[in-house]
Each structure stands twice: as structure tokens, then as C-alpha cells.
Structure 1
Amino acid sequence: MAFQQVFPLHPHHQVQKQVQQTYTPDLAVRLICPECLSQNPNIVEEFGAGDLVCASCGLVLGDRIVDTRSEWRTFANDEGDDPSRVGAASDPLMDGVEQLDTVISFRDGGSGLSRELQRAATRSQSGSRSERNLLTAFRDISSWCDQFTLPKTISDIAKQLYKRADEEKLLRGKPLEAVIAACIFIACRQAHVPRTFREICTLTHVSKKMLGQCYKALEQAFNLSPGATASANKTGQTTGAEGLLGRFCNHLDLPPNVQAICSDIIIQARNLGIAAGRSPVSIAGGAIYFASHLLGCAKSAKEISTVAGVSDGTIKLVYKLYYMDRKSLVKKQWVAEGKAKLERLPDAP
């Protein structure tokens, strides 16, 4: 005798099929205030307090009402649609460019659907090629600034500079990474937190030669002073070797007075023409090596070279130039107060 089912289930384990019911709102039900029992109730939603109130008698019928209106109010007719609680804040630099996008994950269980979805999204993506390049550049600028722990101010300056360069077609034919690196380099100097060419090249993996070409083109096109803006020069703020001292001293865990004395030594050496023509990084490293020994908190040339990104031989060469004119660089007031001692300085190599 053949069974219709090889392993039939026990009746106790069989699941009875239930008929799915379709739920629809009952239009015959009306919300009536139980206090005034009016056939035409005047129910008001107080979104400010989150209450549902009867306007006739003032009875609170419900609380914790969710506000479904827009978060902002628009009073002008030319401002477009009323903004709602959807999406991030609009970027003024992306005026006229669609700022909403969809990111499709690569994880599809090996079915290959993600690749097809990405191709379809790329084909259906609105906007011209220049707009897509602008979105890509802005995304890379934000990503690199985050990796370099740079504030949002620098990211905004770099984006604005890149947009202007793209509108004027200044760097046509240059790699996108090189243009972005030059914009970040200039933005750091404009915000008085300068970074060296070596640091920017390490971050963006752009050659120093290509970065220098893009930087020179932007500097000439926008009439940028080398290292600072005109307004910064008026206030006395510099972005040369003095601007690098704060970051280097913090990484070396030096006392606060070392940075101030290093700055005075660099300014005095510049006035005397000592170490003229050297790069700001080399001058900052040599000044830190000189001042740290002078104040009794000595740091080795190798430690300073690791932070500054220059060789210890270059640091010792600048130190040798400072050591030869040490009596002119060290103020007598520092020696009188006991802050500095010339005997602490090691002999020049």
C-alpha cells in the first residue's frame, strides 16, 4: 500500500491555514468629545504641546501627538518647497547640483546583483559629467580632511577653491588627486594651520612635483601670497617656520615656553640673515633642537626628524648655523632669569 505522503505529519503538528483578513478603516466611526457630545465636533491638534483638544469645551482627548509638519517654515514664494525632516543640511557650495545619492553595498551573497544595481544607478544618475566630478571631488576632500584630522573650516575652504578652479578651467588635464591636494594645502595655509608638502603628499599619494605645479597655478590665478593672505599679514600672523612650531612642539611633548623662545630665535635669525634660503621645516626643526638644549629639555635630532619629516643631518646643519651666532640669538634676559644656559648647548658637528 503506497502512502500519498512518505512521512506524514502528526495532526497535532499540522498548522491550520488561516484566512487572511483585509483590514480597512471603518468610515462610520467618528471622533466625538465625551464631554459636549457635539455631532459636529471641533477637534484641534495642538502640536506645540502634543495634545488633541476639543475646541468647544477644552477637554484633552489625547496626548503625545506626533508632529508631522515640516521642521521649518517658508514665508517667501521664491524659496522653493518647504524643507522637511528628510536628508542632510543643504550645502551652499552645491548650488544647482543634486545632493541626494544612493550607495549600493557590495555584499550580495555572490549573486552579482550589486554590480547590476550599481550599473543601473550609474546610468540613471542625473546631472552632467562636471556635476558628478564635483560631487566626487567634494567627497574626496571631506574624506582626506577627516583622515588628516583637519577642521571643517579647512574642508570648506578647499571645496570653495576647487569649485572656483573648476569653473575657470585652470587645471584642465591635471589629475584630480593633485588638484585636491593643492586645494587642501592652500586651505591649510589660509586657515593658519600650515602643512608641509611632504605631509600632503603622504596623505594624498601625489608626487611632490605634481603638487607643486598645481599649487603654483592656483597661486598665480587667484593672486595668493606665498604662505598667507593679505589680511593675515596685516595682523602679524605668519605661516612660515613659526606656524609649524606649535604642532611640532606638541608632538615632542615640550613645555609651552619652548615654542615662544623658538619663535623669537627664528625671527632674530631671519633678521640677521642666518640660515637664509632654508625650508621652513628645516628652520623649525633646527630651532627646536637649539632651544630644547638651551632650556634643559633636550630632544635628539632623530626625535625631531621623525616629527618634522626631515633628516637629522639637515636639522644639525641648521643648528650649526645657529650655534655659530648663539650669542646674537640668545637674549641676555633669558640668561639673567635662569631660563637659558649657553653651557647646555652641545658642540656643533
Structure 2
Amino acid sequence: MAEKCPECNSESVSFDSKRAETVCNKCGIVIDERQIDTTQEWRAFDYEQRKKRDRTGSFLTYTRHDKGLSTSIGDQGYSDLYKLSPSKRASFYRLKRWHKQVSTATERNLRFALSELDRISSTLSLPKNIRETTALIYRKAVTKGLVRGRSMESVVAAALYAACRKHNVPRTLDEIAEASNVKKREIGRTYRFITRELKIRLLPTSPIDYISRFSSSLKLSPLVQEEAIKILKQAQEHDLVSGRGPTGVAAAAIYVSSTLSNEKRTQREVAEVAGVTEVTIRNRYKELIEELGIADKMSEASAKDD
């Protein structure tokens, strides 16, 4: 709501920054004076100036072992060090080295684990919210002593898989195992352990979550994606999804929809993108076309291609 002049009820008021006053432009009355200026008193014309003059630190983040709250000694340069005696300069460098060292075992564990998380997340091109959730899950696991007796890499990979499932970002255990250099069986075992101990409730992965990524890798049109999602929804109604691997069902739906839409991809191409075998696709494909009654359409589409 716009401020009004108490004298003439005019809404044409302005703030004079030099005098710190609010003045009515119509009658000239001073509505408010001695106002506090909450804006910054300095200006910056590029990123370097803004970084140098800024007096606040970075935002709170769980992806740093200190949550981004620590400060560093000597970040503004060493231009004045020549004025100090050699002993003082040696003391300064010693303090800077000690400051960078992490004191407790928990902090050292977090530093190495979070650097490993950054590496895996960059390899898989995961967004920032996934990294934050993974770091939070790993911190809870360290606090409860769940890391003891297990490799740090397996716990990080398991926490990352849990975060991906929580945010509906489809990444398979095979992809995370390849990026983390940890065996798939070990990641799965650790994932079940930490979700049970931390009481993390996650819904089963839906095959629909994989349609967009697989279709993009196969360079299929949005119409094929829509058709694949429609097939999967019908499959859920006929109870053809439960108890089966979501990637295999999604791959079979993409194979069927691409054939029906005249953008056919071979079973081998779909299998390579989805990370499943051709046998899995054939088994899921037969179930879909028989139960959904689209076997005749598939035969006609295949005949046109031939």
C-alpha cells in the first residue's frame, strides 16, 4: 500500500536519500525524517570488487565439513607481510597452516567424504539439492556411528542413492556404482542399513521417472515420451509394474511407443541406454503388448517398417 501525505492525502511522496527524509511532492510537508539507511555504503562495478568489499561470508551449506561458517587467515593477500620481521612472518604462515588443519576425527571424515560426494555428483551431473540432501544424510549417519565398520565411499554412495530417490531424480544403482567405484551389492546393502537405522521412508521408484532421461538419450520426440507414459499408466492399472525392475519396464514402454510412433529404436539401443539386457526388454515387452491388447498394433507397425 502506497504511503499517503497526512496533510493533503496525496500519494505522490518521495524519499530524499541525502537528507534521509520522506517529502510530499504536492504540498512539500516532511512526512518522516532522520530515517535509517539500511543499504550498503560502498559500490562495486565488477565481481572482484564486490568480493573484496563484501563483509559477509558464504551461505550455510551441508556440503562443507564446517557448513561454510569458518574463516580463513590471510585471504586478502600478503602485501603487508614485508613490513613484519622474519619471525613474525614465519608465525603468520604457521598460523595459516594450522588453521587449515581439521582437528577432530569427525571433521576429517566429513572433509574426505564430502569431497568424494562432489566428485560423484559431478560425474553424474546431479543438481545442488541432491548434494545437500546427501550431505545431510551422511552427517546423520556419522552422528549415529553408522559409518564405523564400513567404507566411507559405500556410505556416501548409499546416501546419494537415497537422496536421488527422495527427490525423484532417476539414477540406478549401476550408475552410482560405476561413478563411485564401489560394488553394486555393497551399495545396496549399505543403503538398506542406513535407511532402516535413520528411519528414512522412501516410495518405490516409478518407471515413469526414467522415461524423460532415456528418451532424451535416444533422441526421441515428446510424442514418444507421452505415449510411453500412457502405456505405463495402463500397465499400472493392470498391475504389470509391481515386482519388476522399473528400468526394464520403462525401457520396454519406450520400445513399444517408439515402434508405434514410427520412430523405432532397436532393443539393443534401448537396452544400452537403460542399462538392462535385451532379454529383460523382450520379457517386459511381451507382457505389455499381451495384457494391454496392443499386439495387433505392434504387428502392423513392424510390417510397415519392413
Preserved CA contact (<8 Å) 1:185 1:194: no
CA displacement at 1:122 relative to structure 2:
8.8
> What is the match of residue 262 of structure 2?
296
Residues 1:316 and 2:273 are matched in the alignment: no
Distance 1:289 1:100, change over 3 A: farther
Letter in 1 for 2:215: C
> What is the match of residue 42 of structure 1?
none
> What is the match of residue 12 of structure 2?
none
Residues 1:344 and 2:283 are matched in the alignment: no
> What is the match of residue 199 of structure 2?
223
TM (normalized to structure 2)?
0.68
Unaligned runs of 5+ in 1: 1-46, 51-65, 73-82, 103-120, 229-238
Distance 1:141 1:49, change over 3 A: closer
Preserved CA contact (<8 Å) 2:268 2:278: yes
> What is the match of residue 207 of structure 2?
241
| Mapping for residues 10-21 of structure 1, pairs under 5 Å | none
Q: Larger % of helix: which?
A: 2
Distance 1:174 1:68, change over 3 A: closer
Distance 1:245 1:67, change over 3 A: closer
Letter in 2 for 1:125: Q
CA displacement at 1:125 relative to structure 2:
2.2
Number of aligned residue pairs: 237
Deviations 1:189-242 (A, max 9, x none): 1222120111111111111111011111122123333346xxxxxxxxxx4111
> What is the match of residue 171 of structure 1?
147
2:58 to 83, 89, 96: 89
Residues 1:212 and 2:212 are matched in the alignment: no
> What is the match of residue 57 of structure 1?
none
1:71 to 46, 49, 54: 54
CA displacement at 1:271 relative to structure 2:
2.0
> What is the match of residue 180 of structure 1?
156
Equivalent-residue separation in structure 1 for 2:210 and 2:51 (angstroms): 52
Residue range with higher mean Cα deviation, 152-161 or 262-271:
262-271
Distance 1:180 1:169, change over 3 A: same
Distance 1:203 1:68, change over 3 A: closer
2:222 to 256, 260, 263: 256
SS of 2:153's partner is: helix
Distance 1:181 1:124, change over 3 A: closer
Preserved CA contact (<8 Å) 2:238 2:291: no
> What is the match of residue 232 of structure 2?
266
Equivalent-residue separation in structure 2 for 1:267 and 1:206 (angstroms): 34
Structure of greater Rg: 1
Preserved CA contact (<8 Å) 2:61 2:68: no
CA displacement at 1:100 relative to structure 2:
5.2
Equivalent-residue separation in structure 2 for 1:189 and 1:135 (angstroms): 24
TM (normalized to structure 1)?
0.60
The structure with higher relative contact order (CA 8 Å, sep 6+) is 2
CA displacement at 1:290 relative to structure 2:
1.1
> What is the match of residue 139 of structure 1?
115
Report percent identity of matched pairs: 27
Distance 1:345 1:321, change over 3 A: farther
Preserved CA contact (<8 Å) 1:193 1:243: yes
CA displacement at 1:281 relative to structure 2:
0.8
Letter in 2 for 1:130: T
Preserved CA contact (<8 Å) 1:178 1:214: yes
CA displacement at 1:101 relative to structure 2:
9.9
Distance 1:208 1:98, change over 3 A: same
Letter in 1 for 2:286: K
Letter in 2 for 1:208: K
SS of 1:194's partner is: coil
| Mapping for residues 108-147 of structure 1, pairs under 5 Å | 125-147=101-123
| Mapping for residues 102-113 of structure 1, pairs under 5 Å | none
